[in-house]
Structure 1
Amino acid sequence: MVELQHREIPTPALTVFVALHPGIGVPDFDSLGFQPVKTAVKADLNQDQGGLCVYCESKLKSSKGQVEHIKPKAGPNAHPHLCFTYTNYAHSCINPKTCGQKKNNGLLPIEPGPGCNADWTLSTAGTIEPIVGLNRNRMHQVHQTRDMLGLNKDSNLVDERRRWLKSAVAVLAQAPNDLPSFLLNAPFRHILATSI
């Protein structure tokens, strides 16, 4: 998961839109008038996330994917007051098996942010697993977050992570000084860093 740190100044178009529409609500998020703002927000989030999907860490172009509400805007876990809050947004890929589409209106026990990868690691098989030694409650949170996002359910995603881990290990063995540069440009860089 991307250790997301939002920019200090939110997308200016979002700030302006919210100021001009004081009575906006959840339905306005999908309105035609908000679409240009959403496009600008998505581009900024993509930059904040280093061009990766916030959840699976696959490469993601700024023109693709969706603006994801970390805390859902609707459903049983709704936080409608955060619908137009930049720090509640993330850029997520669109895959019915994983990420924001799989999470739907669920509330994640572990959200993307600094330190979010502290309790899991990438196995040599490419699966995301809890680290050894977690207490029962934290182990449950790790499993629940991973499973809510479907991070081990898409075999293509698992295989791709396994290949990148194998490449990272090869770089580490052959040219250890090149590893930081390799990770800087690699997809899955946050989860890869937990294993190396």
Structure 2
Amino acid sequence: MAYARDAEDPTYKDAPKTALRDALWAEQHGLCAYCEGPLKAGRTRIEHWAPQSEAPERQLDYRNLLLCCDGNAGCGRAELFHCDVRKGNTALTLNPTDERIEHRVTFGRTGVQVLGGDAQAEVDDVLGLNVESLLARRRELVQGLQRQMSLRFKGRPTSKVWLERAIARLEATPRPFGRSQLAYLRDRLRRLP
């Protein structure tokens, strides 16, 4: 028993990172917890939503862990960083694992927006979710969807059934930056007569 008393408490530093990374990858469908971009093997980061510096007691709490992209870390320009690379040790009020987040955060044509409250600064300044590279990628995907719809319907009104099925497919199988496409499709569905 003397050994058990003398042993240090386990820390994140000693955690099985490969197993954590694999579990988070599967749970998040290979998407970054913050920007929803595709994760690339060997270029991911395990993020602590509540920073270890502020909540050391949560460093091994699985519910506090997120898998993030490399946040443009290799570019060397801090203004282009995003996700946890930009966040650093800043505490957030918005948690991507909170089921209610869908009602507070929207992905529209002008970027990621927070409805109500003062958390927009977290999206823009702390996480950098509206940096030009992410905006351009979301725009590109929505434009691709618009082209697909244009070819399919050739000037005819968009089918309500087609929109509902497309929305259901995106909701069932998350895709990189899929919420921007979902927002576009839902907006089109709302505007149908």
TM-score, normalisation: structure 2:
0.70
Tell me if 1:180 matches 2:165.
Answer: no
Q: CA RMSD of the aligned region, Å?
A: 2.4
Aligned length: 158
Query: Hey, what's the Cα distance between the residues in 2 that align with 1:118 and 1:86?
Result: 24
Question: 1:32-70: CA deviations, max 9, x gaps?
Answer: x54xx1111011001111110000000114543111001
51 and 169 in structure 1: CA distance in 2 versus 1, 3 angstrom threshold: same
Q: Residue 117 of structure 1 aligns with which residue?
A: 102
Q: Residue 87 of structure 1 aligns with which residue?
A: 63
Tell which deviates more after alignment, 85-94 or 171-180.
171-180
In the alignment, which of 30, 42, 47 is matched to residue 26 of structure 2? 47
Counterpart amino acid of residue 107 in structure 1: A
Query: Hey, what's the Cα distance between the residues in 2 that align with 1:119 and 1:49?
Result: 19
171 and 61 in structure 1: CA distance in 2 versus 1, 3 angstrom threshold: same
Query: Hey, what's the Cα distance between the residues in 1 that align with 2:91 and 2:107?
Result: 23
Counterpart amino acid of residue 93 in structure 1: C
Query: Hey, what's the Cα distance between the residues in 2 that align with 1:164 and 1:41?
Result: 30
Q: Which runs of 5+ in 2 are unaligned?
A: 1-6, 74-80, 150-157, 187-193
- Deviation of residue 164 (structure 1)? 1.6
Q: How does 1:95-110 map to 2 (within 5 A)?
A: 95=71, 96=73, 97-110=81-94
168 and 180 in structure 1: CA distance in 2 versus 1, 3 angstrom threshold: farther
In the alignment, which of 178, 185, 188 is matched to residue 189 of structure 1? 178
SS at match of 1:116: helix
- Deviation of residue 159 (structure 1)? 0.4
TM-score, normalisation: structure 1:
0.70
Higher gyration radius (CA): 2
Which has the larger share of helix? 2
